[in-house]
Every structure is written in structure tokens, then in C-alpha cells.
Chain A
Amino acid sequence: MLRLENVTKTYRTRNGTFNALDDVSLHIEAGEFAVIRGASGCGKTTLLMTFAGMLRPTRGTVLFGDRDLYRMGSAERACFRAQNLGFVFQMFHLVPYLSIAENVLLPAAAAGLADPGTRAAELIDKLGLASRRHHDPTQLSAGEKQRTAVARAMLNEPRVILADEPTGNLDPDNARAVLGHLAEYHKGGGTVVIVTHGPEAAQFADKIIHLNAGRIDSNP
């Protein structure tokens, strides 16, 4: 369903240019739990953002089904993300002035959801945040923040959840809990792509892709 074809992403720096992704081709099937592993700085986030339609590759194409993401206009791509994608980041990125419930509801307007309240309440219960519903993000532990982010990623019932180091700031128990929720979503038919340098996610994976200095490493 998600397909990269000969994607190269070149960054321009003070010391010249360098390829964060170098001729990467890979595809992820619908309903797959894919983990992309690699050392820090090997290009994982770059890869994920390219998947997400948020970072135009220097060369190559990114396909979602049969749609070429970077042939769309930026407003169309935004709409596409709102309909099809969910995001979880290492740094949570909760909106500080919104309550937990409101943060979970944030994608509703962008995705044009009909009855987001019910769905949000379900997710908040399911992720164990019911008692935190009206709290501010600052009042939450790291684990609770990331579960809020997971609930937010699931609100629009996306076809794919893209997670960038979702357990990078969590202790092992919370890491397991967050991965468990993503796994459950996967069992329900969702597609999950996690990029991470850690080993925790591997046990849930249908497919593990190794990335090394911007290239797919077929024998790690």
C-alpha cells in the first residue's frame, strides 16, 4: 500500500550536500506492522516524513495505493493526511493549552469527522486516560502523554499510523503499553509503521527493515 521507489533525499549543509536517503525502495502492505530500525542519524525520521507526504524527496516517488503523494498540491496532501494517516512522535507534541480530551479531538476538524466526541471518549477510556480527560498535558506523566498522542493518532481511524521513536522517552513499562496499543490497532486491521533505533518494537513486527546511512541494509 505504501511504496517508496528509488527515493533519494539530499540535504544541503554548510559542508556541502549529503544524502540522508540514498536510492531507497521499499513497500509496506496494508495491514502490516512494519518496524524500520537503524542507528541514530541514519535517516529514519527523514524516511517517515517522506512517507507522510511532509518532506518532498529529491528524487524518486512515494505512492500511497496508486496515488503519487508528491504530485498532489500541498492542500490536497494535508487533506490526504487528515483522512488516512495518524502520527505518534517521540516528543508527544501535545498542544499545551488544550486538555487531554481536546488534544485527542484535535484531528477532528481537519478530518471532518461526523461524531468525534463518542470516538474520542472510547479511545480515552481504552487508553486508560479517563481520569485525565480534563487535565492539562503538563500534569501528565510521559507515558500518559504518549498514550494521549496515540489516542489522537487513532481518532480519524487512519489507514496507517506512522510512529517516530514512540517509546524513545518512555520507561520500559510505558513503552510496552504504548506498543501494545499500536499492536491492538494493527490486529484490528490497521497498518503501523514504526521507525526506531531501539529493539522494543521488534517483537510486534511482521516486517523489520534495517536502515544504514540512508540505505536499506539487506543483511544487518
Chain B
Amino acid sequence: MHIAKLIVKEILHRKTHFLLGLVAVAAAVALVVAFVTTAAAGNRETARLMLKTGFNLRIIPADADMNRFLINGFSDRTMPAGYLDTMARQEGFSYNHLLASLQQKIAWRGMEVILTGLAPEVCPPDRKKPPMVFEVKRGTAYMGSVLAEALDIKKGDAIDVNGTMLEIVQCLSPSGTLDDIRIQCHIADAQTILNLPGRINEIQAVDCLCFVPTDDPLAILKDELARVLPEAQVIQIARIAEARNQQRRMVQSYLAFIMAAVIVVAGAWIGLLAMLNVRQRQSEIGIMRAIGYRADYIAALLLGKAVLMGLVGALIGFTVGSALAVVFGPDIFKVTAKALKTDYALLLWSLIAAPAFAAVASFIPVMRAVAQDPADTLRKE
């Protein structure tokens, strides 16, 4: 009888044993596949985009005086408002929010005021993200708390700012920041008031990715943007990106640890099952040795079962793991969700690695059983 037929018959005879082994292999493969698929999705996108994700950038005019920019919190120079559209349409660049603004310090009713014009927030068309800031309609304004109090301005009042009428839709509560001395209005109103038609002085780009594999994605982002936005410079808000990157690394090493633990447990489990199996099969092993089957044939018979367990476990594990990754992955890895898809190269790897793994885990019990003196089992009365 062919050795494969013997293996299959034994498996069918001791189904529970095989199923218990299968569960271990399938669970380990599923976990690895789910992890690698999601990580690969992350890496694939990261590779194409960049190695770190979620840069928050401030794009300001190239000729801005950095000293004053940092002191004031905004640039004293302007750039074309069309840059917003250019960035939004830029190939090889991805973002979650683009916020364009035009800010300038003006004197108004005897006070120093930061007039802030906000453009409607730009989001990628396929992404439904809640807006980051409130949207200001034309002809309306939000009044900072310090100004509102000092000048006794209330909701519903109409104010005249250098000839432009704005209706106050809200007086903001105190924030302890520059917002308290801001008049925030629509960007077009600000352009009119400041007589800077078609100009802005900052674009904030939130969660930016670049589409070139590199170790220094920021440099690439800067290059890309410098090309299409010649009058601009790019400043990274460093802390946020670094924190995210660390968090990502932490999650990855934690998952790798869990994965290693599961593989060790699965290996021990399969080894234990192999031990129980060969113990049950002592009589069979003994008689086959007596009849003239060589030790290597017996070893192949016993290890063949482990290999088959690995093959079937790999198929099940791959299916389950891929399904888990595709179903739950997008919730976990929000940034890279789009790139999540079944990776059939992993199936090939599973079909090689899982049988090898099961065979290695079963190796010691099997070899001990084969090395055992068949005379010992056969003499039993």
C-alpha cells in the first residue's frame, strides 16, 4: 500500500488527534498571515508613500521671515491661493486635511487684532473625515473672547472691518491662545479687507504621505512640493509624526511578540500531539519494523502526517488569516486600509513553512519512536 494512503487512513482513523493538530497549525498560520497581510499593507503603502506616516506640514511662503513667523505664529508674506488646489490635485501625495488661511495683524477700534481668513477645509474626495475646524461662511465672523469683552461685541452684531460688513455668529469662549484676539472670517472676506486678492499665507496639511519609497520621506515631500509650489517652503510639525511613528513601532513589536509566543505554543502543542500519537502507534511501528519496513520508511510515515497537517493547516490558516486581515484590518490600520488585500505569495509561504514547522515540531518524538527497539513493543503480552 502506498505510504500516502497509510497516512490518510491513519488520519481518518484518529480524526480528533488530527483536528487538534490542525487547530494549532491553522491558528498559528492565521495569526501570521493576518499580521503579515496587515503589516504588508502598511509597508506597501509606506514603501510607496513613505516609511513614516502622518506628517503634519505647514506650507508657508518661501520668502517668509522665519524669525517673525515663529514669533507671530504666522507669516508676514503671502503666496497664491491657487496653491491649495495644486496641493489637493497633486499626484503622489496624500493627505487627510488641507487648511488654507490668510492672517495678518491689523489695528481695529484701537486694538491689535489678528484678522484670520479661513478657506473651506479640503479633504480627499473618497474620505469622509469630520472637519478639523469650524467652517466660516462669507459675511460672517467668529470673535475672540478678549476682543468681544473689550469692545462689548455680542452674537448677532454686525461689525465693520475696514469697510467690509461681517455678522458675528459666535463669540468664542476664552482659550488662552492667539484665538482670543482673532477675528476669524471667510478667506475671501479677509482678502478683501487686507486688499490681498487671491493670496494666502499658510496651508496646513494634516496626515501627509508621499508616494516614493525612502528613508527620508520628509525630504521627498519637500522636494515634491517645492517643484509644484515654487513660492512655498515646507515646515514639519515634528513631534506629532515622531509620536505616531513610535506608536506604530510599538504596536508592531507587540504583535511580533504575540506572534512568536503563539508559534512557540503551537510548536509545543504539535510536538506533544506527535508524542501521544507515536505512543498509541507503538504496536503498529513494531510490527512494521518486524515485517521489514525500514526505519526511514516509518519516519516518513509518521512525519508525513505532520506534513499533511501543516499543508491543510496552512490552507485553513491562510483563508482565516486573510479574511481576518481584510475584514478587521481596515479598522485597525486606518491609514493604510486601502492597501489591504489578500496576498497569495503568503499562501505559497504558508504551504512551505507550515508543513516544515509541523515536521520540525514532531521530529523529536518521531525519531525517538523510530529509534525505540521494536522488540520491546512486540514482546508485550
Contact = CB atoms under 8 A, between A and B. Distances in A.
Interface of A: 45-46, 49, 52, 54-55, 74-75, 78-83, 85, 87, 89-91, 93-98, 102, 105-111, 152, 164-165, 168
Given A55-B375, A164-B379, A95 B287 contact: yes
A106 B291 contact: yes
Interface of B: 1-3, 6, 9-10, 12-14, 283-284, 286-297, 373-375, 378-381
Q: Which of A74, A98, A102, A164 has the most CB of B within 10 A?
A: A98
B292 A168 contact: no
Given A97-B9, A97-B12, A97-B13, A110 B1 contact: no
B375 A110 contact: no
B381 A97 contact: no
B9 A78 contact: no
Contacts, number: 94
B292 A83 contact: yes
19 contacts: A49-B375, A52-B290, A78-B293, A81-B290, A81-B291, A81-B292, A87-B287, A87-B290, A89-B287, A90-B381, A95-B284, A95-B288, A97-B13, A98-B9, A106-B288, A107-B292, A109-B3, A110-B288, A152-B291
Nearest to A98: B9
Contact of A111 (B6, B10, B292, B297): B292
A44 to B, nearest CB: 9
Contacts of B380: 91
A134 B35 CA distance: 48
B381 A54 contact: no
B210 to A, nearest CB: 60
A30 B152 CA distance: 126
Given A97-B14, A168-B381, A87 B291 contact: yes
A102 B8 CA distance: 14
A28 to B, nearest CB: 18
Contacts of A87: 287, 290-291, 378
B1 A74 contact: no
A75 B370 CA distance: 13
A70 to B, nearest CB: 13
A45 B296 CA distance: 25
Nearest to A93: B287
B283 to A, nearest CB: 5
B373 A96 contact: no
B316 to A, nearest CB: 23
Nearest to A162: B290
A128 B380 CA distance: 27
Contacts of B1: 98, 102, 105-106, 108-109
Given A93-B286, A95-B284, A97-B13, A55 B291 contact: no
Nearest to A49: B375
B289 A97 contact: no
Given A75-B294, A95-B284, A54 B10 contact: no
A85 B12 CA distance: 31
A91 B290 CA distance: 14
B292 A110 contact: yes
Given A97-B14, A102-B1, A54 B291 contact: no
Given A96-B13, A98-B9, A108-B1, A54 B289 contact: yes
Given A102-B1, A164-B378, A93 B283 contact: yes
Contacts of A74: 294-295
Given A93-B286, A96-B13, A45 B379 contact: yes
B292 A79 contact: yes
B18 to A, nearest CB: 12
A91 B283 CA distance: 9
Given A91-B283, A93-B287, A102-B1, A110 B293 contact: yes
Contacts of A83: 292
Given A74-B295, A91-B378, A108-B1, 6 more contacts: A87-B287, A93-B284, A93-B287, A98-B6, A102-B1, A164-B378
